[in-house]
A and B are shown apart, each in its own frame.
Chain A
Amino acid sequence: MLIKTIFSGFGGQGVLSMGYIFAYAAMVDGKNTTYLPSYGAEVRGGTANCTVAISDEEIASPVASSPEFVVVMNNPSLFRFQNVVHSGGIMFLNSSMIEARPIRGDIELFEIPANDIAKGLGNEKVVNMVMLGFFIKKTGLVSRDGVEKALGDAFSLKGKAIVTLNKKAFMEGHTFD
């Protein structure tokens, strides 16, 4: 099965690394995966997004015109992507930063106050991993082992403390209900 997800937010929210860790975990799990970040002038002015496709078969196009899932970290992302989610798809919304809610009735909504949880951990920067933990718990798309390995590899240069903090943030999101 082919599943596409768009992760979106503003620059400092770590949306690109959220997608990257997810794609990396899928690779560790032995799935086919592509990761396509927004780039260039598109990134000026602060919004960033990336698309991750994962599948048991080879992936024809890494572009998602109607993704199954979208993860929105701020208001502009909600407005930009609420209309592209596949009917019956799911939106994951960061309720710490977004007051509005999607107007569509045909998509499911999961909310998590990701920034507040990250603040509780003493570092708002890990808001992305909180959200990722939540996303993976709800979708079950990749294994927790895969994510642990991905986090270890991706942040290895930044030191043990950073890896531990990110893993902790991931678990906070994963156990949120």
Chain B
Amino acid sequence: MKKVFSRPRSLKKVPFHYCPGCGHSIVHRLLAEVIDEMGLREIVIGVPPAGCAVLAYFYLDIDMGESPHGRGTALATGLKRVLPDRLVFTYQGDGDIAAIGTAESIHTANRGENITALFINNACYGMTGGQMAPTTLLGQHTTTSPGGRERLRDGYPIRLSEMLALTDGSAYIERTAVNSPGNIRKTKKAIAKAFKVQLDKLGFSLVEILSPCPINWRMSSYEACQWIEKEIVKYYPLGVIKDVTKRVKEC
């Protein structure tokens, strides 16, 4: 019989600890598939965040180096400068990359640092119990935005990807989602493309992935996927934001 589905080499044989319906598990698998398919396992170095994915090295059978909360892109810069022929990526949540690590992300992109950032946007702080994130939508209830996020008190959801696209150092930035089979396929393509951009030494690449966190959104997995489609995408539209290889929408 022909084998049509199996565990990627770069994914360890351990069950994920993520909540049911969590997007992190899907992205881990996609990442492992891309690493295998592009034959990168032996040259890739990942930087996991402080966030629900802090234990990514339990699941990915690749080299990984832990970073303090938010400093991933700076740490990756160090790795890449010492080992320019390796493929270096960070894996960061919205709190990690777009709150505490904003300065690092902007300057890493602006330096055109030849690394890839995978930015998991679940519109909340998953690990610490569902507090407001910089990406939390207006009106969205979290444990630190009682009554819903309010413009006057909490400011607006941040569009970090669009901001980073403004820097001259960024080469490829795309926003995808993992809420449906079609979007999952597109996410995989985007990760592969970002890695390709890095291998071609074109500069900073980033894939922002809208990802369900049913536990903290207090929804079922299905509702969470729907909510991405109906609400989040309205504020965070999917698609390529910047691609220097195509010279689309140069900022």
Contacts and interface: CB of A to CB of B under 8 A. Distances in A.
Check A-B contact in the complex, CB < 8 A. Answer: yes
Interface of A: 40-41, 44-46
Interface residues on B, range: under 10
Contacts of B45: none
A41 B127 CA distance: 7
B236 to A, nearest CB: 25
7 contacts: A40-B129, A44-B17, A44-B18, A44-B215, A45-B17, A45-B18, A45-B19
B27 interface: no
Interface of B: 17-19, 52, 127-129, 215
Contacts, number: 12
Nearest to A45: B17
Given A40-B129, A44-B215, A45-B19, 4 more contacts: A44-B17, A44-B52, A45-B17, A45-B18
Contacts of B19: 44-46
A95 B215 CA distance: 28
Contacts of A44: 17-19, 52, 215
A44 B20 CA distance: 10
A40 B126 CA distance: 10
A41 B50 CA distance: 12
A45 B18 CA distance: 6
Contacts of B215: 44
A41 B128 CA distance: 8
A46 B19 CA distance: 8
A108 B127 CA distance: 38
Contacts of A40: 128-129
A40 B17 CA distance: 13
A44 B215 CA distance: 9
Contacts of A41: 127
